[in-house]
Chain A
């Protein structure tokens, strides 16, 4: 069998693919890369596109779509840290603004200082309630 390299494709939400391959193709920001076994160590950003894994032995090529991410190559391991979300500076910015706006809407008209005493008092009350329930359960149970 020909030389192989181990390929891991993982995203923040879970592992996508893991296995051996003869060749891996990935859409790097500087152009498409083909990675063969014993490739020199490399780190690059990926853009949206298709990652292809050639398992050799006449098997069909496997295709994975990534919307970006990071590719790390070591001589016998290729790791693709895939984004599941489509990322772009302005999209991220919009998401941040949206999150801010929601917070402002939700908290309109409240004071800015955290009232420690009030919070502590009500939390203590809640805890006391839970304890009372526990005690009731024990005496009854």
Chain B
């Protein structure tokens, strides 16, 4: 009955692993629901803000904030959003690959790139491969707060205002559904102008204090809220990717256990058969 004991130990150890992965799967499923709710909760703020901004920029065509003016890109900044933890399949790697492609295009056309990272994995990525990282934020947890992002976004916006960078992009995973996450790189600043329908009645707000100050405050918050949305969406992606990865890990462990069980049973059978035939042949010889 050679190896039977080893097989038994192996089965026990895989069972333990399976317990862990299925627990992680359930935890991720619960967290995913919460993360999705969080993602939906951020939508009204950005939508309202966009309304006010488009009205403001419409009512004041002569005043263009620097966040709205396109200029030639010599140096661009990327805000890269990743997860803090691994075990979520190819989520982060897919995003980094997409990003690496973009960076290559930028570098080939002579544009320099700088980065701000959110999440440990992105920081680790740039630590391995180089790249000027201006600021970073990690350990945002499952319920990220906008305070944690203010610093990172401000570093980028300041660099933009000072003319150090001419464009800001944001790279994150877009949540399509539980099975699909889309690595996305979007332009954040300058804010992409949209075709607005003409206002029928020309009316304007009363501003307290100046319209410019109000617009400044609004735009900064708007960009922060977009970055926050990216973080929250990436969080939902992380949980769903982890859920899928852990589910397939549990399934694989199950298959492995079945296979090993079969081998074990065969070994046991063979040992018993051998013993019987030994006894029978022994009795016949007497």
Contacts and interface: CB of A to CB of B under 8 A. Distances in A.
B17 to A, nearest CB: 15
Contacts of B104: 116, 120
A140 B207 contact: no
23 contacts: A8-B48, A10-B48, A12-B225, A28-B208, A41-B203, A42-B205, A43-B205, A44-B207, A45-B209, A79-B52, A92-B154, A93-B154, A95-B151, A96-B155, A99-B152, A100-B155, A103-B123, A103-B135, A107-B133, A115-B130, A118-B129, A140-B255, A141-B251
A70 B221 contact: yes
Interface size class of chain A, counting residues whose CB lies under 8 Å from the partner chain: 35 or more
Nearest to B129: A119
Interface in A8-63: 8, 10-15, 28-30, 40-45
B119 to A, nearest CB: 12
Q: Which secondary structure dominates chain A's binding surface?
A: mixed
Interface residues of B, number: 66
A85 B206 contact: no
Contacts of A113: 130-131
A103 B205 CA distance: 42
B48 A81 contact: yes
Contacts of A126: 90, 93
Interface string A75-105: 0000101011101000011111111101100
Contacts of B130: 110-115
A119 B96 contact: yes
Contacts of B154: 92-93, 95-96, 99
Interface stretch (B4-12, B186-194, B210-218, B261-269): B210-218
A85 B145 contact: yes
Contact of A29 (B48, B131, B208, B224): B208
B184 interface: no
B65 interface: no
Given A13-B42, A81-B45, A114 B103 contact: yes
B62 interface: no
Contacts of A73: 205
A1 interface: no
B204 A119 contact: no
B107 A116 contact: yes
Tell me which of B97, B129, B132 has the highest count of chain A C-beta atoms within 10 A of its own C-beta: B129
Contact of B150 (A29, A41, A92): A92
B270 to A, nearest CB: 24
A12 B107 CA distance: 35
Contacts of A110: 127, 130
A2 interface: no
B13 interface: no
Interface string B228-266: 100000000000000000001001100100000000000
Contact of B44 (A8, A106, A119, A122): A8
Given A13-B228, A83-B221, A106-B133, 16 more contacts: A14-B45, A29-B209, A44-B208, A79-B48, A85-B145, A92-B150, A93-B154, A96-B151, A96-B152, A99-B116, A103-B133, A116-B129, A119-B96, A120-B100, A127-B90, A137-B248
